[in-house]
Amino acid sequence: MFSRLRSLSLIALLATSACDDSPKVTPKDHAEGLYIKGTAEYLQGQFEAALASFEEMRKLAPNDPRLPAARGEIFLSMGKLAEAATEFEAALKLEPKRSTNWSRLGFVQAQLGRPDEALSSLRKAVGLYPNDYNALEQLAEIHLKKGENDEAIRHFVLAANASSGAVKSELILRTTEVLTKVGRQAEVLALVQKAADEGVRTPGVLTALGDALVRAGKLPEAATAYKEAASKSPRDPTLWELVGTIHLQLDKPGDAIDAYKESLRVKDRAIVHVALARIQLAMKSKEGAEQELAAALESVQGNDVRELRELADLLVTMERKSDALRILGNLSTEHDMVKDVDLQLATARLARELKDPVLVQAACARALAADPRVKKCP
């Protein structure tokens, strides 16, 4: 009995001691808590609150090298570039070998229109960490603005090689844009083919591969690339449309019909019904063509120039020229289309055929105003 009472007394004593032994929060712990709090507020877009938290932290740990870097990120997100540069410069004084600080400073300097300083900072970042794809990308953009295309392309490729996932895909596509702009199409094909072979098979890369294969005249391979891209982009109807168009060029109307129907499953669009109507006409099916034309007229949006012009051409083919002229007449007066000489001449020719002299004169006047070299209208 005594032994049992003694044990209970000891347990009670230990419990009391545990309650009295409250944890001691050191200034270092408090500072760390404020850093975590400020970071969370920054990630939530609460920039002013984050700055206040970091200011409180600075009173406890004024020499913490993370502080100016964190403040720099906040100022950068707020669009306060000068303040961001000052903070990153302060961070580098405390931590001169941290590549991220050089990289961020270089980015800010570039945005401030100080390219030479930016190049210096970014090169230091890459020197400390060669796989800093952010610094490599920014170097590429600066070289591009300076007209140094070879250096720009080289750095874009390096940035892509140093990255992964969605960022890698975006950098590959950025590289293709530059290569295309400077007319280096063979390199575009080599780049996207290599990326796809190495497993970067995003819709964007596959679409770029399809485009490059089309330019190279490799239509079956292009159709395969577009088809895979379409399967990974369930909301994009244009990729299936491209597959259908290629099959038509390869004289595979059945495959073209299948692809166009896949496009319509994604979105009902007049341009696809027009293509299907033309296939039906080629197959001598007037009834099928009429059905597709009716579907096209029902689904036409009215703000897609290519769609409207294709629809007008189909209406002419199917001897509904008055309807075609109404489309062309309205389209030719649109502000963005008054300088389209081909459209104005096509409108004038059809208007003359249908004996509408007023529209002929108006379309011809717009054509001549857009290009005085036009000798004959219509």
pTM (predicted TM-score): 0.84
Which H or E run includes 73?
A: helix 66-77
Q: Where are the domains of the chain?
A: 320-378
Question: How far is the CA of 26 from the CAs of 99, 187, 358, in angstroms?
Answer: 31, 60, 89
- How does 129-146 read in b/e, with b if 16+ C-beta sit within 10 Å? beebbbbbbbbbbbbbee
Answer for the pair 249, 276: CB distance below 8 angstroms, yes or no: no
CB 85 within 8 A of CB 105: yes
What Cα–Cα distance (Å) separates residue 1 from each residue in 4, 8, 11, 261? 5, 11, 16, 89
Cβ-in-10-Å burial (0-12, 13-18, 19+) of 34 comes to: buried
What are the mean pLDDT values of the chain's consecutive 10-residue runs (378 residues total)? 39 42 74 91 95 92 93 96 97 95 97 96 98 97 96 98 97 98 96 97 98 97 98 96 98 98 97 98 97 97 92 97 97 95 97 97 96 90
- Report helix, strand and coil shares of the chain as percent, to nearest 5: 80, 0, 20
Instruction: Please name the residues in contact with 280: beta carbons below 8 A apart, sequence gap of 6 or more.
Output: 286, 288, 289, 291, 292
Predicted pLDDT of residue 226:
98
Q: Determine contact, residues 75/83, Cβ cutoff 8 Å.
A: yes
CB 154 within 8 A of CB 125: no
Q: What is the pLDDT at residue 24?
A: 72
Report how far residue 177's alpha carbon sits from residue 188's, in angstroms, rounded to the nearest whole number.
Answer: 9
Distance (Å, whole) CA 355 – CA 332: 17
- pLDDT at res. 31: 84
Per-residue pLDDT at 184: 95
Over its C-alpha atoms, the chain yields an Rg (Å, rounded) of 33
pLDDT of residue 38: 87
What pLDDT, on a 0 to 100 scale, did the predictor assign at position 18? 47
* pLDDT in the model for residue 252: 97
Query: For position 22, what pLDDT does the model report?
Result: 56
Among 253, 251, 248, 245, residue whose Cα is nearest residue 226: 245
Tell me the two tokens of residue 70. Answer: 């964190």
